[in-house]
Amino acid sequence: RHLSLFDLVCIGVGATVGSGVFVLIGLIAHTSAGPAVFLSWGIAGVAALASGLCYAELGGRFPEAGSSYLYAKETMGELASVIAAACLTLEYTGSASAVARSWGDKVVEYVRSRNSESILISVLDPGLGINPCAFVVSLASVLLLLEGVKESKSVTNFFSTLNVSLVMFMALMSMILAKRENLTPLVPPEFGAAGILRGATSSFFGYIGFDEICCVSGEAKNPSKNVPRAIILTLIIVTSLYISASLGLAGMVPYEEISETSGFPNGFRYVGYGWAADIT
């Protein structure tokens, strides 16, 4: 067993924070909730916490690798466990694909912003919906994981810390640049309360991943205590990041002008901070 509480939190945060901040916040603010996008994330966070408490209790009672598969097998039998395993596989396949594609699109957009005529664009974006960068990052992740948990945890910790630092920078910088008039009206008439709830259903996708902590329980030190703690800490950290980042973006840029695909980079360019856009 090699994973400490800090390692487990890094795995949970690293698996959860991703396209939710870099894509979904802008999309939901522009199309569903307007400046009230932070309420959508808060509602989704409460729902995720309710689910997380279930995982925390089961993770403490069954401190072994397997997550939903193991819990279903122990409580409802093998048929239920097979169904849970299929759903778990589908969840990670879908979420990993979305994150990889989001990362790949960011690379293409960055290269295109530097030189739209570069021959590299034809390689990175050959058309037909194909994104080679998404394949490369997925393959690299698989090869890293094949090395084992002990070997990959340092890389996971590094990128999780870097990711959280970047999101904190985005949130703080956007809050500094925020204007009160951009948050008025808080709930645009064209969206209403229904828009906030629609945004919350989309926001929940951004919380997928915290259950990965349960998948590595077999490698955790003192799993009966550290796994539940890691799940709760992860959800607190992630929810705080999402709410602060969404509040900052909605305050920095009028919701009508927020990009649906690249909220923060385009938002920083909108207010004249190109260097911050390059960082994000």
Looking at residue 19, its pLDDT comes to 66
Confidence of residue 235 (pLDDT cuts 50, 70, 90): very high
Q: Which of 65, 102, 68, 91 is nearest to 204 (CA)?
A: 91
**Which pLDDT value is given to residue 73?**
87
**DSSP letter assigned to residue 23:** I
For position 74, what pLDDT does the model report?
84
In the predicted structure, residue 128 carries a pLDDT above the cut 90: no
What are 55-103's pLDDT values in tens digits? 888 888 887 877 888 888 888 888 988 998 898 888 788 878 877 887 8
Using CA atoms, how far apart are residues 14 and 95, in angstroms rounded to an integer?
A: 13
Residue 105 near residue 260 (C-beta atoms within 8 A): no
Query: To which residue do tokens 């596989």 refer?
Result: 89
Contacts of residue 48, defined as CB under 8 A and 6 or more positions apart, other chains included, come to 204, 207, 210, 235, 239
**Are 264 and 174 contacting, i.e. CB atoms less than 8 angstroms apart?**
yes
pLDDT given at position 212: 84
Mean pLDDT value of segment 258-279:
86
pLDDT digits (tens, 9 = 90+) for 145-189: 787 777 777 888 888 888 889 889 999 999 999 998 999 889 998
How confident is the model at residue 116, as a pLDDT? 66
How far, in Å, are 32, 138, 179, 199 from residue 39 at the CA level? 11, 32, 18, 9
What sections of 186-222 are H helices per DSSP? 192-203, 212-215
Q: What is the pLDDT of residues 98-123, one digit of tens each?
A: 778 878 887 887 777 777 676 777 77
